[in-house]
Amino acid sequence: MSTYDDTFGRIAAQIEPFNKKKASLRPGTSFAGDLEWDSLTVMDFVAAIEDEFDIIITMNMQAEIETIGQLVDAVMKLQAE
Amino acid sequence: MTDLFSKFDPLIDERQALLDRGVRDPFSIVMEKVISPTEAIIQGKHTILLGTYNYMGMTFDRDVIEAGKSALDNFGAGTTGSRVLNGTYQGHKECEQALIDFYGMEHAIVFSTGYQANLGMISTLAGKGEYIILDADSHASIYDGCALGNAEVVRFRHNNVEDLDKRLGRLPKEPGKLVVLEGVYSMLGDIAPLKEMVAVAKKHGCMVLVDEAHGMGFFGENGRGVFEEAGVADDVDFVVGTFSKSVGTVGGFCVSNHPKFEVLRLVCRPYVFTASLPPSVVATAAASIRKLMHSGEKRAHLWKNSKRLHQGLRDLGFQLGTETAQSAIIAVMLPDMDATVHMWQALLEQGLYVNMARPPATPAGTFLLRCSLCAEHTDAQVGEILEMFAIAGRATGCIS
Ligand SMILES: Cc1ncc(COP(=O)(O)O)c(C=O)c1O
């Protein structure tokens, strides 16, 4: 099991190629508001995260995740399962 | 007090900006007269229809119209009731029998639209704790079926067999899973690699539903759809379809060999809680479906039209959604909203109607003009269509 910081770092690395606005990445950074991602970018990004951690983030779960911190929590929970 | 309509302001403004540029509204065309499956009068102008999904041209078929008139006379204008109460007439059963015969399957259920067929099937089949796995480019009715139900929803990349395999491999083994595919994807007119996708779905123990809305009538030996042509009929659990395209009227259906299929009539809310189709509609659908069983010549002409239009548009220099003509839909790809609207209007002014499509309906933020061919388009009409595209394309700078 990975630690919060480790997971955060791996997620941040996956965000970089999509971070066109060069927004700073903190747990409170929101995907729609701060990164201004559209639904297509979200889809590509989710696929990248799923591959990185070998997990599935269902659309139901995606609907609940608005910030990087929430994504870190979700990924850690999925890995624990 | 907050006006609940405030959230639509960006859309209202975008639309107004478009109209202010002197463009006709692509989403409020009125057909003043319909002359045939391929011609109508729009704002007083004689117009060739190239955006109606009326693939087999059944809307004005004599036998189909007669069947409808007779049902109207004998059974009235409407059923005023649900299929499970007073809304199942002899005509609804005959229509379901026509589908059973057409598909060579054991069971058929007719819904009031194809949209409702997808809503009903998808929301009912996969319940809480179960999974729906769908293509990212799925039709709105498939997405809405997911939203109506309680299952977990997983998307895979459009037509990507490897991605589907990978995702299914990551899901827990036990829960029931439904993979939802379409034979033809209606935005670009590309077809799904059903042979490979269905094999992958079966390998992972999933049930498979294929939406053949744009494939019925002219794919496969019996015109059943892309799944028939791909040779996977035995492995597809459910086929969903519509009467609003090749069949030429309105309505939706699902056919299946599942032994417990009929229970859906009791548990499928979009089947139960709405009025059934009018008698005239099911009568026209049944007559049309029976005729579609023997329309080899029409099918051949439709394919000829599609291939010719595809090649012709390519030769003119247009960029198309597919390398070859894979279906009866040809998508002309354009760079942006402006070019698309101008091209669309230039075609309409010459007397050609096509569909305009833009994000979010289209995949990957693309703008396109979608052409759908009809078996009743004559060779001369296809020639005229190509000429109009050439003139409009040059006038708008879309081609040189
Ligand atoms: C793939 C697909 N499925 C379902 C439908 C819905 O069909 P209907 O027009 O009967 O509601 C359509 C058409 O709109 C479609 O393109």
Is some CB atom of chain B closer than 8 A to the CB atom of A78?
Answer: no
The answer on B67 and B50 residing in a single domain is no
The reported pLDDT for the residue numbered A2 is 65
Q: Do B337 and B352 meet the contact criterion of CB atoms below 8 Å apart?
A: no
> Within a domain: residue B170?
yes
Q: Do B176 and B163 meet the contact criterion of CB atoms below 8 Å apart?
A: no
The answer on B184 and B277 residing in a single domain is yes
The reported pLDDT for the residue numbered B314 is 97
Domain of residue A21 covers 4-80
Number of alpha carbons in the 13 Å side-chain half-sphere of residue B130: 18
The answer on B219 and B336 residing in a single domain is no
CA dist list (Å): B47 to A52, B39, B345, B385: 53, 6, 13, 10
Q: Give me the catalytic one of B177, B214, B298, B310.
A: B214
B112 is catalytic: no
- CA gap A59, B74 in Å, rounded: 49
Among B292, B318, B337, residue at a domain's last position? B292
- CA gap B33, B281 in Å, rounded: 20
3-state secondary structure B219-257: CCCCCCCHHHHCCCHHHCCEEEEECCCCCCCCCEEEEEC
- CA gap A54, A75 in Å, rounded: 10
Q: Could you tell me the distance, in angstroms and rounded to a whole number, from the CA of residue B17 to the centre of ligand 1?
A: 30
Give chain B's largest Cα–Cα span.
62
B183 lines ligand 1 (CB under 6 A): no
Q: Could you tell me the distance, in angstroms and rounded to a whole number, from the CA of residue B20 to the centre of ligand 1?
A: 32
Q: Give me the catalytic one of B245, B291, B310, B342.
A: B245
Burial of A48 (0-12, 13-18, 19+ CB in 10 A): middle
Task: Identify the segments of chain B with pLDDT beneath 70.
Answer: none
Q: Could you tell me the distance, in angstroms and rounded to a whole number, from the CA of residue B140 to the centre of ligand 1?
A: 8
Q: Tell me the residue type at B135.
A: D
Among B226, B260, B292, residue at a domain's last position? B292
The answer on B226 and B98 residing in a single domain is yes
Q: How far B306 CA sits from the closest chain A CA (Å)? A: 30
Give the total number of structural domains in chain A: 1
pLDDT digits (tens, 9 = 90+) for A13-52: 999 999 988 889 999 999 988 988 887 888 889 999 999 9
Put simply, the answer to whether B154 touches A56 (Cβ < 8 Å) is yes
Put simply, the answer to whether B152 touches A40 (Cβ < 8 Å) is no
> Within a domain: residue B91?
yes
Is some CB atom of chain A closer than 8 A to the CB atom of B361?
Answer: no
Q: Is the peptide bond before B360 cis (omega within 30 degrees of 0)?
A: yes
Q: Could you tell me the distance, in angstroms and rounded to a whole number, from the CA of residue B247 to the centre of ligand 1?
A: 12
Q: Do B238 and B121 meet the contact criterion of CB atoms below 8 Å apart?
A: yes
B214 is catalytic: yes
B276 lines ligand 1 (CB under 6 A): no
pLDDT digits (tens, 9 = 90+) for B159-179: 999 999 999 999 999 999 999
The answer on B208 and B192 residing in a single domain is yes
The answer on B357 and B262 residing in a single domain is no
- Kindly give the pairing relationship between strand B252-256 and strand B319-320: unpaired
**Is a pLDDT exceeding 70 seen at residue A1?**
no
Instruction: Kindly report the CATH number assigned to the domain that includes residue B51.
Output: 3.90.1150.10
The reported pLDDT for the residue numbered B378 is 98
Q: Give me the catalytic one of B112, B138, B141, B186.
A: B186
State whether the Cα torsion B30-B33-B36-B39 is positive or negative: negative
Query: From A61, which residue of chain B is nearest by alpha-carbon distance?
Result: B152
The answer on B330 and B248 residing in a single domain is no
Q: Tell me the residue type at A14.
A: Q
Q: Do A26 and A37 meet the contact criterion of CB atoms below 8 Å apart?
A: no
Residue of B110, B187, B240, B244 to mutate, ligand 1, most atoms within 8 A of C-beta: B244
> Within a domain: residue B3?
no
Among B136, B152, B360, select the one facing A58 at the smallest CB separation.
Answer: B152
The answer on B189 and B81 residing in a single domain is yes
- CA gap A61, B149 in Å, rounded: 15
Is some CB atom of chain A closer than 8 A to the CB atom of B140?
Answer: no
Q: Tell me the residue type at B82.
A: S
The reported pLDDT for the residue numbered B361 is 78
What would the two tokens of residue B273 be?
Answer: 């809680």
**CA angle B98-B87-B178, nearest 5°?**
60
> Within a domain: residue B182?
yes
Q: Do B349 and B282 meet the contact criterion of CB atoms below 8 Å apart?
A: no
The answer on B277 and B308 residing in a single domain is no
3-state secondary structure chain A: CCCHHHHHHHHHHHHHHHCCCCCCCCCCCECCCCCCCCHHHHHHHHHHHHHHHCCCCCHHHHHHCCEHHHHHHHHHHHHHC
Query: From A57, which residue of chain B is nearest by alpha-carbon distance?
Result: B154
Instruction: End-to-end CA distance of chain B: give it in Å, rounded.
Output: 54
Give the total number of structural domains in chain B: 2
B28 is catalytic: no
The reported pLDDT for the residue numbered B223 is 97
The answer on B102 and B77 residing in a single domain is yes
Instruction: Kindly report the CATH number assigned to the domain that includes residue A48.
Output: 1.10.1200.10
Residues of chain B neighbouring A40 (CB-CB closer than 8 A) = 364-365
**CA angle B48-B51-B52, nearest 5°?**
100
- What length does chain A have? 81
> Within a domain: residue B160?
yes
Give me the torsion for CA of B189, B248, B140, B218, rounded to 10°. -30
> Within a domain: residue B306?
yes
The answer on B301 and B276 residing in a single domain is no
β strands within chain B, DSSP E: 31-36, 39-42, 45-49, 107-111, 131-135, 152-156, 177-182, 184-185, 190-191, 207-211, 238-242, 252-256, 319-320, 329-334, 352-353, 355-357, 367-372
- What length does chain B have? 400
What predicted TM-score, i.e. pTM, was given to this entire model?
0.95
Domain of residue B156 covers 61-292
The reported pLDDT for the residue numbered B20 is 86
Neighbours of B32 (CB within 10 A): 11
Q: Is this prediction's ipTM beyond 0.95?
A: no
